[in-house]
């Protein structure tokens, strides 16, 4: 990652790396990021594995997220599914690395302070806590400030939450309370964590898989050619099916005005159009030699909803916005405080939110 992004990136943004799509400064054009451009098989595998695991976790714990308005919006907007065709939840993988002796803000800059992500508000972010710590260390605490929720980021655990809530993580460090204290953190009984690689001693590693709002309804006029070519795009899309189905959805969107009035009134014509698009974007599986076709139900969702206003989505988004904390926090404690209308009342949001332990009382305030 350091080789892909260089010292200038690390100095400006810290050791936080995107292995998928980057948004070019200025004209908001979507292109493969620095790590993906190198076409490293490990990056492709990282993207695919992260997408598969995130999708399975969300399907198991929040099955309603995999159907209805969320599924409809994903295909209707030709969202950029990273890694695998079954992923209708996230667009962007991010790797955050820090060393134990450094705080989150020192290593990750603004990503390490309380912040609100520019994510799709109706979807979830998966945060994977993957790290190695010396014995006797407290891993970290993760906080969602507007809901006043907190949890311990135990090694090899995952947190699912909307990234549009203000959140941040406290750093790790040696525990100063005795082992007999209820505040002393211990790994689960009988569970053995993997040993630390000898060349990478005890880093704090977090993988964040999230639905970047801009990529869940991309503008086809602002997509770089490296995302449209099979030779370069598979490092992001992971599979030919994912790539071809996305290309099909883009083509339907681009041509929708040509036959919108016809397919809405003529069922036979609609079936013909669906057959045509699925046929255009077929491909040959290199392993089996068989012709494969995009999934017809996906084409139908795209054809039915492309360019239409989804009232259920608008109502859901309005509800979520009503209890949100706005779009952005100041970048530092001294920064400008933002006013936000919440449930008819004016509220103020800021960053000065430290929650220390009261060691004298051995309790958590």
Q: Mean pLDDT of successive 10-residue segments in the chain (365 residues)?
A: 57 70 78 86 90 94 92 93 93 79 47 75 90 79 84 89 85 85 85 68 76 89 90 93 94 76 78 91 91 94 86 88 62 51 46 40 38
Confidence at residue 236, expressed as pLDDT on a 0 to 100 scale:
94
CA angle 297, 313, 48 (to 5 degrees): 55
Instruction: Outline where the chain has alpha helix (H).
Output: 2-13, 34-37, 41-61, 68-76, 104-108, 213-216, 230-237, 240-263, 267-280, 296-305, 311-322
Closest CA to 85 of 246, 219, 230, 220: 246
Cα dihedral value 316, 322, 323, 325, nearest 10: 120
Beta bridge partners of 170: 141
Neighbours of 256 (CB within 10 A): 16
Confidence at residue 36, expressed as pLDDT on a 0 to 100 scale:
87
Q: Provide the sign of the torsion angle of the four alpha carbons 129, 133, 136, 141, taken in this order.
A: negative
Q: What are phi and psi of 236, to 5 degrees?
A: -95, -50
Neighbours of 97 (CB within 10 A): 18
Name, in order, each residue with C-beta under 8 angstroms of 361's C-beta and a sequence gap of 6 or more: none
Q: What is the DSSP letter of 123?
A: S
At residue 141, the 3 state secondary structure works out as strand
Confidence at residue 78, expressed as pLDDT on a 0 to 100 scale:
92
Domain annotation for the chain: domains and CATH numbers = 2-175+195-218 (3.60.130.30), 230-315 (no CATH)
User: What pTM did the predictor assign?
Assistant: 0.80
Confidence at residue 1, expressed as pLDDT on a 0 to 100 scale:
59
343: part of which helix (H) or strand (E)? none
Query: Residue 190 burial (CB < 10 Å; 0-12/13-18/19+)?
Result: exposed
The dihedral region occupied by 364, where left means phi > 0, alpha psi between -120 and 50, and beta the remainder, is beta
Q: In b/e form, how buried is each residue of 41-59, taking b as 16+ CB within 10 angstroms?
A: eebbebbbebbebbbebbb
Q: What is the DSSP letter of 212?
A: B
Confidence at residue 349, expressed as pLDDT on a 0 to 100 scale:
47
Neighbours of 168 (CB within 10 A): 21
Confidence at residue 115, expressed as pLDDT on a 0 to 100 scale:
77
């Amino acid at each position: 990652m350091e080789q892909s992004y260089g010292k200038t990136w690390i100095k400006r943004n810290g050791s936080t790396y995107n292995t998928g799509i980057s948004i070019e400064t200025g004209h908001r054009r979507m292109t493969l990021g620095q790590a993906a451009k190198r076409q490293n098989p490990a990056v492709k595998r990282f993207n695919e594995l992260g997408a598969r695991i995130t999708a399975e976790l969300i399907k198991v714990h929040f099955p309603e997220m995999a159907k209805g308005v969320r599924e409809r919006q994903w295909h209707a907007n030709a969202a950029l599914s990273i890694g695998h065709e079954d992923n209708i939840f996230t667009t962007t993988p991010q790797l955050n690395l820090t060393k134990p002796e450094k705080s989150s803000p020192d290593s990750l800059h603004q990503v390490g302070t309380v912040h609100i992500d520019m994510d799709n508000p109706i979807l979830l972010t998966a945060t994977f806590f993957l790290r190695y710590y010396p014995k006797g260390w407290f891993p970290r605490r993760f906080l969602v400030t507007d809901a006043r929720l907190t949890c311990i980021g135990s090694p090899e655990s995952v947190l699912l939450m909307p990234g549009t809530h203000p959140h941040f993580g406290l750093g790790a460090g040696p525990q100063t309370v005795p082992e007999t204290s209820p505040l002393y953190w211990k790994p689960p009984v009988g569970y053995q964590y993997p040993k630390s690689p000898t060349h990478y001693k005890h880093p704090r590693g977090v993988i964040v898989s999230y639905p970047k709002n801009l990529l869940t309804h991309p503008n086809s006029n602002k997509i770089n050619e490296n995302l449209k070519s099979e030779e370069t795009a598979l490092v992001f899309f992971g599979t030919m099916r994912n790539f071809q189905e996305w290309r099909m959805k883009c083509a339907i969107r681009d041509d929708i005005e040509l036959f919108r009035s016809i397919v809405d009134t003529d069922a036979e014509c609609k079936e013909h159009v669906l057959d045509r698009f699925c046929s255009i974007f077929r491909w040959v599986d290199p392993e089996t030699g068989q012709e494969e076709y995009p999934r017809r139900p996906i084409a139908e969702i795209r054809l039915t909803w492309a360019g239409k206003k989804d009232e259920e989505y608008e109502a859901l988004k309005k509800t979520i916005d009503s209890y949100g904390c706005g779009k952005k926090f100041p970048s530092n404690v001294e920064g400008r405080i933002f006013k936000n209308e919440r449930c008819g009342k004016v509220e103020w949001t800021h960053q000065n939110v430290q929650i220390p332990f009261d060691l004298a009382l051995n309790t958590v305030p």
